[in-house]
A and B are shown apart, each in its own frame.
Chain A
Amino acid sequence: MAITGNLETFNFVDIFQILKKDKKDGILVIETNNKNFAVYFKNGDLVYIREVPKVFYVYLDIDFKDVMKKEGLSGKDDIYRALVARLPVLLSLKKGKFSFTPGFIRYSDDIEPFIPLEKIIMFLSRHLTKEEVERKISDIRLVFEKTEDWEDLAKRANLNDTEKKVLNLINGERTVENIKDELGIDLLTLEKILYGFLAAGIIRRKRHKKRKLGFDLTKGLLSKIIEKIKGL
């Protein structure tokens, strides 16, 4: 199935969130007016960024060794140098089409990501606009809780002091507004942090243990409704 869209309405944080959560292998292709990038992912982490003159070049290589050969990379140090040189260029893109092709590329076991994707997600989240953060943090009444593996993910994300303070206050009880008031930070900063935490998988929306029905429904009446729908 497709993972395609436009960077103007679906930014890198959102894309990386999906690739990370599912630990996807594959190639993310970014097409802009004057540049095309192929971003290689292994187990949901970013391995390499390649600039290609035409998109179809990406699909000529099914083994990462061939990519290395064409890019003139002789080892891990070369991969790292090229990656850190191209990463800021890639992440600065705000316009363009993206599409992710799952699988396709084969990696040898020694190819490992250099930069945890959680760290990149948090870095990008610090630069989001008000309009962007409202996509996820649209209500100051929202309550978040930590996920099961939040400690590992937070370590990988390389949080700054303010982010650590916010994380300490997330307990499944405090609302966004409570955290803002307790820390005395501005709402936009807090929203950016929460956006990053959500995308990095450090927190999630609090699960409602008890859901409520707005009508006094009985099991007998529910059975009738079910039978009626089945018979339509």
Chain B
Amino acid sequence: MGTELLVNLSYVAAAVLFIFGLKMLGSPATARKGNFVSAVGMFIAVVVTLLDQSIIDYKWIAVGIAVGGIIGAVVARSVAMTSMPEMVALFNGFGGIASLLVGWAALYGMDASTFQMVTIVLSILIGGITFTGSLIAYGKLSERMPGRPLVFAGQRFFNIALIIAIIACSVLFAMNPDVSLYLYLVIGLSCLLGVMLVIPIGGADMPVVISLLNSYSGLAACAAGFAINNIILIVAGSLVGASGIILTQIMCKAMNRSLSNVLFSGFSAVAGGGGAAKIEGEAKAMSADDAYYVLEAASSVVIVPGYGMAVAQAQHVVKELQEILEKNGAEVVYAIHPVAGRMPGHMNVLLAEADVSYDLLLEMDAVNPRMETFDVAIVIGANDVVNPAAREMEGSPIYGMPVINVDMARNVFVMKRSMASGFAGIDNPLFFKENTRMLFGDAKEMLSNIIKAFS
């Protein structure tokens, strides 16, 4: 019994470290230490588990850890910062499949009570949804599959039927644990559900989906904890589950949409087809040289980055321009919309990579009140998050979404590859405003040209 007490006390210590680690992740100054503290907690939990008496053979454990450790370390070291969203999605999926497998393996080796059967089914179910859902999110984010919502006729009906089938199979399996067919059906159908839930969601809504899947992976671990009666899984899993839900809420609020609207609006797109009024007018293009003259005279500049900055890998050039403008005596700040990019905080990570001080990154609510005071607002590859239609046009699909009001700055430069509408397929009246100038082309090239003009 001595070992068991030691194991459980160590789990308490690990839980304390996770909690402190998460708390320290809340401030930029302590975040790195916090991550380390939580890693120490994980290390303790793993090491004491290895003392468990029911473990007879360490051979396969060693194989699993070696394979997983090498893959994880190599990927984590080599991934580019711009690919971070798909990377998080992928890791998330691996967490999900691991919980599925743990739940499945728990079937063998104990006489499961009905309660345990229910929790085993839950961990398989949530794990499966997390796994395939994350893989689809990975596919969309890495552009291995089309980022637009994939919808087909009868999709809603199909999904409802699928959910009913899953519930039926789960109940049948929980009552007849010996019938493997039900088990395979539950696994297969929940994996299918994960796919079906994510394919109708468009790339711009991915921040919400990733946060939600993150929450699911925690809940899956939590369910697996109930299945194998392990407290640390329950505690850590529910901490992650709760944090994922909070992030999801923050993202939804930033888009002024409900969670169900984000998850299911892909369906209505087929029926509705959008009803926004056409915007008439002419966009005025501008060359890098002309942009230079304006920037040279500007004393305050706000930069609004979006997904386009990530695509063009332009974060380092942006930083270069910031330094030049600062040397020229201008104040430069960044305005970051909560859902800019493809995951929560995506832009912040990219700018941090380019060595931009984090106190220059302002949130939308801090910038909007003083927008009139900026001489120039430079929009780099952002579209929907600066679209004034959200304020002005009641018919617009994004009406009511809080946006960065760049159109109120004295001059607006929009760097964009073409006149195509943004991800949401909504026209942007910003491009036709009196004070807006368009700089067409690759953002990185455009910025380099402006920088050249300065030297």
A binds B: no
Residues of A at under 8 Å CB distance from B? Answer: none
